[in-house]
Amino acid sequence: MKSNWKILALIALLSSAVTLAAYNILGFNKRDVIFNESAPAPTITGRLAALTGNDGAGAPGDFSYAAESVTPTVVHIRTTITRTVRQQQVPDIFRDFFGDEFGGGSGRPRRQQGQASGSGVIISKDGYIVTNNHVVQDADEVEVILTDKRSLKAKVIGTDPLTDLAVVKIDANNLPSITLGDSDALKLGEWVLAVGYPLDLESTVTAGIVSAKGRGIGILNQNVDRNNPKADTPIEAFIQTDAAINPGNSGGALVNLRGELVGINSAIASATGYYSGYGFAVPVSLVKKVTADILKYGNVQRGYLGIIPIELNSTVAKEKNAKVGRGIYVEDIVDNGAAKAAGLQKGDVIVKMEGQAIDSDAQMREIIGRRRPGDAITVTVNRGGTERDFKVELRNRNGGREVIKKSDVTAANTSLKALGADFEDISAADAKQLGISGGVRVKKVYDGKLAETDIEEGFIIVKANGKNIKSTKELQTIMNAVKEGEGLLLIGMYPNSSRMYYYAVPV
């Protein structure tokens, strides 16, 4: 059954097209965040009151209260994206005879504009809106249409690909803003509503139940730089619902019957790309933390436990000789990490965090993902059949406890992936044959910065910004040193030519 799911499930991002490009992030320490949050999770009596309509919420089967209160806070987002399209190179013999009218000319890249559609949720009266990263990433223009039909230009404040969240801002005041609820209090089978703009329609409300919690579906792995062994792992602990959601619902609201935001709709599992009964939303507990970090610090402050985890099942538990069959097996401990400093050891099995039983890697990452460097959490491990509690103070990616500024993160994350190409070091034999001391070959060019130049696959980079290049690591070092607004000057050659070529790459 599980293998059939993996074969049939095509994980589709909900934007009608994956909109993606440069974005503007506010500087460090810009503002404190004041959310409109719900009261503490209701008691059993309070939950019954909510379901019977005695607290203002709708009666069982009546979703009108939540729908009417939430709809004005959910907006339509339209984006404009400019992509580079490389035309097919026409052989000279045909172009010389027929001219550039034959097949489109020189094969130089050309720019094409496209549009995409998604949703967003107003989280503050002064115009801050949370949506999905894939709705606004790489967008040249972002337009927000309110329920009163006003259309306003929006500025992208910050994005976080590892949770697929983003914050945009419109210049408006006294807007209706949503109340943030408690995703931890959600129960399996509880009614929820999905509100958004599917298929470019007007505001639409659908109903369903919470089908599962803490789902990791692997959809955000595409955001990982696979050439970087230190790349962060995406945080996936989705709320699964059978409320009907479709392309365009991305960034829209998932709410309970009290009209409180419990998640941001992000993805569907479908063989067709359209609703098939499975939708996924980022839990609001994670939304609050990521949004607050973006607004206050300019980037997400991530705490790290400092372990190499393996999710246990009966087979893995037997292989590892673990005393329990569920939990997170500590395969190794990272030097200078939080876990090592707290006393955790290789072979421990994490069974609880903050008193909450841990069954999956996704669940563990979501709990840690809500916290910042310097925050302390209680970790319960099974060591040799005995449970022990450890107080672990999370650290940043550098092993410290302090906040990492946006400027530091920007420099660290300026990866070769941004160039839109695959690279490889050339061998010593190839370098000798070409008469050079070393270089980096462009293996494949995608839709990125290199596609905006005339660089072709096979080009060998020997210098970047005036410095000799012998490895991808050296090229990465130079990329890290490029400041905002600067470019990259690449000098190199093609294997069948002794001539040197110069390419200016906008970075």
Is 76 labeled as ligand-binding?
no
Alpha-carbon distances, residue 170 vs 9, 120, 137, 145, 490 (angstroms): 36, 12, 17, 10, 39
Is 250 labeled as ligand-binding?
yes
- Catalytic residue, chosen from 15, 211, 250, 270, is 250
CA-CA distance, 162 to 172, in Å (whole number)? 29
Q: Determine whether 178 is exposed, middle or buried from the number of CB atoms within 10 Å of its CB (0-12, 13-18, 19+).
A: buried
DSSP string, 80-149: EEEEEEEPPPPPHHHHHHH-TTTTTSS--EEEEEEEEEEEEEE-STTSEEEE-HHHHTT-SEEEEE-TTS
Is 221 labeled as ligand-binding?
no
Do 126 and 173 touch, CB atoms closer than 8 A?
yes
Active site residue 134: yes
DSSP string, 298-340: SS----B--EEEEE--HHHHHHHT-S-SSSEEEEEE-TT-HHH
| Three-state SS letters, 27-69 | CCCCCCCCCCECCCCCCHHHHHHHHHCCCCCCCCCCCHHHHHH
- Catalytic residue, chosen from 69, 134, 266, 270, is 134
- Catalytic residue, chosen from 164, 182, 348, 425, is 164
- Residues annotated as catalytic (active site), given as ranges: 134, 164, 250
Q: Which residues are annotated as a binding site for substrate?
A: 134, 164, 248-250
Q: Which residues are annotated as a binding site?
A: 134, 164, 248-250
